[in-house]
Amino acid sequence: MFWYHAQTKHSWESVRSRPNYLEWEKQPVPFKIYNDFLSMTKLDDANPLHRFIYRIGGITAKKVYPGMEYYLRTIPSAGALYPVEFYFQAREVEGFEDGIYHFDVRNSAVKLLHRLGVEEGVEVYFEDTRQIRGFLFLLSTVCYRSSWKYKKRAFRYCLLDCGHAHGTLEASAWLNDYAATIRYRFDKEALNEAFGFGEREFFLSAAVVGAPTQTRSSYLDLKLPDINPPYEREPVIEKAYHDSLQLQGCRVQNRYEPFTFDKARFEEVIYQRRSIREFHGETISASMLKAILEHLRRPILSDCDEKVSIYYVVNRVEGVKQGLWLEGKLLREGDFSQKAGYLCLEQRLGSESAVTFFLTTDSANYQAAYQKAGHIGHRLYLVSEYLGLGCSGIGAYYDDETAAFLQTDEMILYALAVGR
């Protein structure tokens, strides 16, 4: 087990003896704003490519409370803190000058940070240096946005949020008849330096929405300034990031199965998606659970596809036995709804749901496996919404007790609850 995962476990005792106290005067801003850029393009909903970009992380609602406001976006985030930033390289894309851009979410715009020369490209930092005709997305995290609230455990949430971003990219790409391939195999530290991140921000993964050409990138003359505001460093997270960078034994997944949703309805789902706050203990149909599981099992295009096991506790599904299931097989029969709720830090979401999921792995590639769990979680959000159900991701659970209940030695990555 990766040392960081072991060090950041929750237990009944730990959540009571080490409670988090928020310092509101240090609350981070959930947006990065570049004031020095070459050009800015406001995203136009009538433009299919602009809409494609907006769907991956755009604002869908704003809530205002006395003394504060926060935004809801197409991507979920633990605590609505949104530590993920989106950059992309566009090459030979209609309406975009060849260059490197930042998605300025707050202003619903993209800003050109660097124009590409003929032989330039971020591909120079990838194992495959062939230039991509199309989009090459780069996903980073500003971990302080999450560690401000979740302390050392925040790196887990940053990885999950980045995985959810993979899910929004996959969904948005499909609506434009594209496919998105997740990439982990590139020199993240060199790109961190080129983008001026220091220890304030770092890249976690990339996604290709395009096709390789026969030309290879040979350099990238990029030196951006560090514009992130001051923050409190979290040495444990910084060490966990660097210690988990090296990949080993990656398996490439090239098999693609496009979604089969009605596109107009699915686009509405992307904008309507919310994290449900409570369930009413209602039953769902067996056909709904079958559709959910089929959707979750679809292969994810990736250059480092890690195995993530999908356990689930059936609480209220018509025609399906109550109990603990794994990949369609009933492991133990019984009513474990109260147990599921207890494991999710005693939240009723886990006990009042129709189904509560637990995602696990024994992968040595911690970053890739954790982000895949977030990706699967995002698929669960979307298919649940499409079926008229609610979904809530739960990043806090009693780690060892959950593993004991599942009877597994694997790391617990994520819990999610689905129901009405």
Interval 290-335: pLDDT, tens: 999 999 999 999 999 999 999 999 999 999 999 999 989 999 999 9
**Could you tell me if 31 and 176 lie in one domain?**
yes
Domain boundary among 203, 224, 243: 243
Q: In whole angstroms, how far apart are CA 266 and each of 151, 172, 342, 373, 395?
A: 36, 10, 33, 21, 26
Beta bridge partners of residue 285, listed in sequence order: 318
Token readout for 116 is 């590409």
Tokens representing 109 are: 């715009």
Pairing mode of beta strands 59-65, 284-285: unpaired
Co-location of 236 and 283 in the same domain: no
Which residues of the chain carry a pLDDT beneath 50?
none
Are 46 and 100 part of one and the same domain?
yes
Residue 65's domain is classified under what CATH number? 3.40.109.10
Regarding whether 232 and 177 lie in a shared domain, the answer is yes
d(CA 99, CA 342): 50
Residues 209 and 286 occupy one common structural domain: no
Range(s) of the domain holding residue 297: 274-419
Dist CA 110 CA 106 (whole Å)? 10
pLDDT at 367: 98
294, 201: one domain: no
Looking at residue 260, what is its pLDDT?
Answer: 93
Residue 261 within a domain: no
Residue 289: beta bridge partners?
A: none
Q: What is the pLDDT of residue 192?
A: 97
Read off the tokens for 311.
């356990």
Residue 359 lies in a domain: yes
Report the number of distinct structural domains present in the chain.
2
Same domain, 177 and 30: yes
172-191 pLDDT tens trace: 999 999 999 999 999 999 99
User: Looking at residue 123, what DSSP letter applies?
Assistant: G
List Cβ neighbours of 328 (8 Å cut-off, separation of 6 or more): 293
Return the structure tokens found at 73.
């976006």
Question: Contact 32/418 with Cβ under 8 angstroms?
Answer: no
Cα end-to-end span (Å), the chain: 35
180 & 285 share domain: no
Which of 48, 72, 69 is closest to 59 using CA atoms?
72
Which pLDDT score, from 0 to 100, does residue 21 have?
77
* Residue 255 within a domain: no
Are residue 25 and residue 153 in the same domain, yes or no?
yes
> Domain for residue 256, yes or no?
no
Rounded-to-integer distance, Cα 221 and Cα 122, Å: 10
Q: How many CB atoms lie within 10 A of CB 285?
A: 14
Residues 238 and 317 in one domain: no
Q: Are residues 238 and 291 in the same domain?
A: no
User: What was the pLDDT predicted at 240?
Assistant: 97
Of 359, 324, 373, 394, give the one whose Cα is nearest residue 166.
373
Q: What per-residue confidence (pLDDT) applies to 25?
A: 84
